[in-house]
């Protein structure tokens, strides 16, 4: 695991966008794993801007999203399919038929989860998985006590997740209590992981996930096991990390980061 600390949320976002854009240019038919949430909105806006201004080509890209609320149709404004179309897919030249989210309205949800796993495997797996982190340390909807070898499945949402996300629904009581999510094991199968974390509200949980023990109570802590995982954070979110001096040293001295130091 590498932790890269940038001065601001904007510079953390820009670095993440540059890494994804460079990965697409290097491999135009890349398979991306995508996340949702407020942190990702600015990232997707920047990637869409790169598509327009820099001709970043998404035409051969395949995507798989981490999760979807159970029971929400794709046209529901609170569904993650709606979110992805609004914030990203409708703004770039990606082929919608190559963008995948779990079908949370399927009659047989268990079979849908198995089908999703098979589809990921059929394209050779995920090359680069983008992640955020919840305030309780979840990745995807892998809530506390999620097995670290778990696969795509239906997961009951925690009271904290419901409290955080329900204000986005009108009325809040309409928020589903379950979601289909890639498992922790599914996420760890990706060839490369990038987790973007910004804001002081995420400082405590980021420190636990990065520098604390690996535990099913904080599913993001399992990222410590991955051979190619990069955490990109701003100074606010990194404020409680104990090894900040070393993390700054990595970015300022390792050759792989030289071309990004001007960001």
Residue 259 lies in a domain: no
> Is 26 among the catalytic positions?
no
> What band does 259 get if pLDDT is binned at 50, 70 and 90?
very high
Q: Range of 178's domain?
A: 2-202+231-238
- What pLDDT, on a 0 to 100 scale, did the predictor assign at position 251? 97
- pLDDT above 90 for 97: yes
- pLDDT above 90 for 47: yes
Average the pLDDT over 37-66 and give the result.
Answer: 97
Give Cα separations from 69 to 163, 177, 199 (angstroms).
15, 8, 25
Average the pLDDT over 234-246 and give the result.
Answer: 98
Rounded CA gap, 141 and 193, in Å? 17
- pLDDT above 90 for 121: yes
- What pLDDT, on a 0 to 100 scale, did the predictor assign at position 170? 87
Task: Give the rounded percent of residues in the chain with a pLDDT score beyond 70.
Answer: 100
> Is 67 among the catalytic positions?
yes
- pLDDT above 90 for 62: yes
Among candidate residues 68, 138, 189, 235, the one labeled active-site is: 138
Residue 9 lies in a domain: yes
- pLDDT above 90 for 154: yes
Residue 208 lies in a domain: no
101: domain CATH number is 3.40.50.1360
> Is 136 among the catalytic positions?
yes
Residue 247 lies in a domain: no
> Is 234 among the catalytic positions?
no
Q: What pairing do the DSSP bridges indicate for beta strands 178-181 and 67-69?
A: antiparallel
Among candidate residues 14, 67, 234, 235, the one labeled active-site is: 67
pLDDT tens by residue, 180-236: 999 999 999 999 999 999 999 999 999 999 999 999 999 999 999 999 999 999 999
Residue 149 lies in a domain: yes
Number of domains present in the structure of the chain: 1
- pLDDT above 90 for 256: yes
The residue with tokens 């540059």 is 18
Number of Cβ within a 10 Å radius of residue 166 = 15
Residue 145 lies in a domain: yes
Among candidate residues 10, 41, 76, 136, the one labeled active-site is: 136
Residue 257 lies in a domain: no
Residue 188 lies in a domain: yes
The residue with tokens 């802590």 is 221
Tokens of 111: 């079979």
- pLDDT above 90 for 129: yes
Tokens of 141: 């909807």
Average the pLDDT over 60-76 and give the result.
Answer: 98
- Residues in contact with 26: Cβ distance below 8 Å, sequence separation at least 6, in sequence order: none
Average the pLDDT over 18-35 and give the result.
Answer: 98
Among candidate residues 143, 189, 234, 235, the one labeled active-site is: 143
- What pLDDT, on a 0 to 100 scale, did the predictor assign at position 73? 96
Rounded CA gap, 224 and 41, in Å? 26
């Amino acid at each position: 695991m590498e932790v890269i600390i940038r001065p601001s949320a904007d510079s953390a976002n820009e670095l993440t966008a540059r890494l994804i854009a460079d990965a697409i240019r290097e491999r135009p038919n890349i398979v991306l794993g995508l996340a949702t949430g407020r942190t990702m909105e600015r990232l997707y806006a920047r990637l869409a801007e790169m598509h327009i201004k820099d001709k970043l080509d998404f035409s051969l890209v395949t995507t798989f999203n981490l999760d979807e609320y159970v029971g929400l149709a794709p046209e529901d404004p609170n569904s993650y399919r709606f979110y992805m179309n609004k914030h990203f897919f409708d703004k770039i030249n990606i082929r919608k038929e190559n963008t995948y989210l779990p079908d949370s309205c399927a009659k047989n949800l268990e079979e849908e989860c198995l089908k999703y796993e098979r589809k990921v495997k059929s394209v050779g797996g995920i090359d680069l998985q983008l992640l955020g982190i919840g305030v309780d340390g979840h990745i995807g909807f892998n809530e506390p006590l999620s097995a670290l070898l778990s696969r795509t499945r239906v997961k009951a949402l925690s009271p904290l997740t419901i409290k955080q996300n329900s204000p986005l629904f009108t009325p809040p009581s309409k928020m589903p209590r379950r979601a289909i999510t890639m498992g922790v094991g599914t996420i760890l199968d990706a060839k490369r992981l990038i987790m973007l974390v910004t804001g002081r509200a995420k400082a405590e949980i980021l420190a636990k996930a990065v520098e604390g023990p690996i535990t099913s109570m904080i599913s993001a802590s399992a990222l410590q096991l991955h051979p190619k995982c990069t955490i990109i954070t701003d100074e606010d979110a990194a404020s409680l990390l104990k090894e900040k001096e070393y993390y700054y040293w990595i970015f300022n001295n390792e050759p792989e980061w030289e071309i990004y130091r001007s960001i």
